[in-house]
Structure 1
């Protein structure tokens, strides 16, 4: 069984890099939908509710599929599961690029979510298997930096190719990139057996343990509340900035480039800081600070581009900064023998609640006759309340290692 004690530092870094590459591609596939929002709404002539369904369809399918397979993850070798899921994700992303209409794209997003949604659970399970808790904050920060790279390189590039050709192009390019990563994973990733111990528990015993453990339940609740605090706001950032603040589609990539650039460094710094100062403390500080940009970004009037970028940069730093220690806390709260199943169920809850958040915000936010979005400020207030609840829950969790 692979562990942190028999991996050389170089092999450990290489494994983290491979996992970060997987995170980069599947995060980019998800986050790319949101800045493409204005284009997709115009191309398909759809409103806010139809667009939110495109976003939430991925997360709902990811959550439901994660629930179905979650209890089986600890019964199979990690690399084999990862290769199967990542192959399906790559095919789903290609299907998105081939979609000729709204209905086909919706089905392709569901397919991509079925396979892509569980990838996070597997990657973080591997981190939990090979990295000891005292260094897991830094490793988590490295994986979370994949979001920053996706924002700095992936989203601006995707928007550029969407402008150069059309919205199909980013998905074709992403599918090709995922295929290359898939080959490297198949060749270089080590085989990692789950830490189930000498006796494999029966399925129903695993179900009972994973769902009824009090510490697991607190971790599930923390993830649910954090996703509601984020994904009620995030899906409509790009449409709101374009339709309400006067930002153009050509300027929109700057939001993701600048936000991603700073969080690429801040997420790794936050990871090291949480290892040194304590993950609950760092999580609390960043979560409380994040309330300010969350509310601000949902009520921005027409302002100068520099003001918009200042608010969005602070938003990215603080929201990403609270996720890094929270994920390390959640991973550490699991019983090591059920870590794979726990992380799969946690990922299921993550996707279902983020999908619910996107769906709810689509019901609350409406389009005015002049094309502007209304009621986004109420979404920001809801996200702020959820953040305060998340801080309370996070400080009640127990870490097992």
Structure 2
């Protein structure tokens, strides 16, 4: 690889990381500020939780939306995704109502599907498998950056202005990200992609047992995480009576945990193997699930428990992404969109079950999350081939 090419890939990775940090901040901010949004809209938390669940289930459309990267190209798919995101968040700024929030959440889910699948497919095309774990882990830093940088800023905007302010800010940042993507990502003809139709891409995917197992593992892992994530903001408020600004700051701990998980993937996944990394992450995450309620007797213990929970989850889920990029190279965009559909289905299950289980205490949520992890580990052990 010549130096010019290396510089080009580096610039693209930085751009992808920036754009996805904006998307992920918009996607994730509803969790810690769920009580704030419900108070501003004068609705029960369960109403917005149901909206989050609907958003998650929209992810099942990933197979249709994400396959656009195979059919129309990676660059166009990214640009369309960022445009949808900015438009959706502008709706809340202009129409601050529950229907407006619903529209924003749904459009942000669609935009994330488009951009994520296109980015991962692009990296699969241009980065060798032996180094792909590191490249993808770097772009996945955007997930933790959302909590380290984005969520505290959202808390600042809400505390100093009102709940609509972060939506306007993120809408503008999405436009900037789209301009950068247009500048640094080359246009590649769809003739270069072996599977250029949805039908052929799906046929290639469905004929690969390991790919189907990988999608199932992603769904279970995501379901367990969402079962806890959907209630942690309410749990922290109830148990420790912390303010909105403090809750935003506490979310930085989660961001640091995820940053650690992504860093470990960059350091280890290419060395010890992607499948082994997923297994290690699942084992540690199940243990962290069961430890969280015990550690959560104090605020310090709760933060430590959340740190371990998100560190192990992030290590497992980020390791699964480069593993999946090489299973069905002929339909890379569709394969990644199927994985993201699995993630979305898992979030949908967790968003539905989490609030109801929370009525029995946090242990109920954490126990179910651990059971999902153990099931995923067994699928990985017996059905997944690297």
TM-score by length of structure 1 reads 0.88
Q: Contact 1:298–1:379 at 8 Å: present in 2 too?
A: no
Residue among 247, 252, 257 paired with 1:252? 247
**TM-aligned CA distance change 1:243 to 1:45, over 3 Å:** farther
Quick check: which one's helix share is greater?
2
Distance in 2, matches of 1:245 and 1:309, equals: 11
Deviation at 1:149, TM superposition (A): 1.1
Describe the superposition over 1:309-358 as per-residue Cα deviations: whole angstroms up to 9, x where unpaired: 2222222211111122122212222x211111121222222213212221
The residue aligned with 1:369 is none
Residue among 201, 208, 213 paired with 1:206? 201
Residue among 357, 363, 367 paired with 1:377? 363
Q: Contact 1:48–1:365 at 8 Å: present in 2 too?
A: no
Deviation at 1:253, TM superposition (A): 2.2
Distance in 1, matches of 2:152 and 2:195, equals: 47
Deviation at 1:16, TM superposition (A): 1.1
Deviation at 1:168, TM superposition (A): 0.9
Distance in 1, matches of 2:195 and 2:296, equals: 58
The residue aligned with 1:291 is 286
**TM-aligned CA distance change 1:70 to 1:173, over 3 Å:** closer
The residue aligned with 1:371 is none
Structure 1 runs of 4+ with >6 Å offset:
4-7
**TM-aligned CA distance change 1:5 to 1:54, over 3 Å:** farther
Deviation at 1:89, TM superposition (A): 1.4
The residue aligned with 2:221 is 226
Describe the superposition over 1:149-183 as per-residue Cα deviations: whole angstroms up to 9, x where unpaired: 11111001111111111111111111111111111
The residue aligned with 1:41 is 38
Deviation at 1:266, TM superposition (A): 4.2
Q: Does 1:338 align with 2:292?
A: no
The residue aligned with 2:183 is 187
The residue aligned with 2:121 is 125
Q: Contact 2:195–2:331 at 8 Å: present in 1 too?
A: no
Q: Contact 2:27–2:105 at 8 Å: present in 1 too?
A: no
Deviation at 1:115, TM superposition (A): 2.7
**TM-aligned CA distance change 1:322 to 1:176, over 3 Å:** same
Describe the superposition over 1:93-135 as per-residue Cα deviations: whole angstroms up to 9, x where unpaired: 2223333222331133223323333321111111111111110
Q: How does 1:351-362 map to 2 (within 5 A)?
A: 351-362=344-355
Mind listing any 5+ residue stretches in structure 1 that lack a counterpart? 367-373
Describe the superposition over 1:197-249 as per-residue Cα deviations: whole angstroms up to 9, x where unpaired: 6x766653333222232222112111111111211111211111111233333
The residue aligned with 1:370 is none
**TM-aligned CA distance change 1:181 to 1:69, over 3 Å:** closer
**TM-aligned CA distance change 1:352 to 1:136, over 3 Å:** same
* Count of matched residue pairs: 385
Deviation at 1:61, TM superposition (A): 2.4
Distance in 1, matches of 2:23 and 2:172, equals: 13
The residue aligned with 1:397 is 384
Distance in 2, matches of 1:99 and 1:85, equals: 21
TM-score by length of structure 2 reads 0.92
Distance in 2, matches of 1:193 and 1:223, equals: 30
Deviation at 1:20, TM superposition (A): 1.2
Q: How does 1:270-281 map to 2 (within 5 A)?
A: 270-281=265-276
Q: Contact 2:262–2:314 at 8 Å: present in 1 too?
A: yes
The residue aligned with 1:322 is 316
Deviation at 1:49, TM superposition (A): 2.4
Residue among 15, 18, 21 paired with 1:21? 18
Distance in 2, matches of 1:69 and 1:262, equals: 30
Residue among 85, 91, 100 paired with 2:87? 91
Q: Contact 2:133–2:266 at 8 Å: present in 1 too?
A: yes
Q: How does 1:64-75 map to 2 (within 5 A)?
A: 64=61, 66-75=62-71
Distance in 1, matches of 2:354 and 2:4, equals: 45
Distance in 1, matches of 2:310 and 2:325, equals: 22
Distance in 1, matches of 2:55 and 2:316, equals: 23
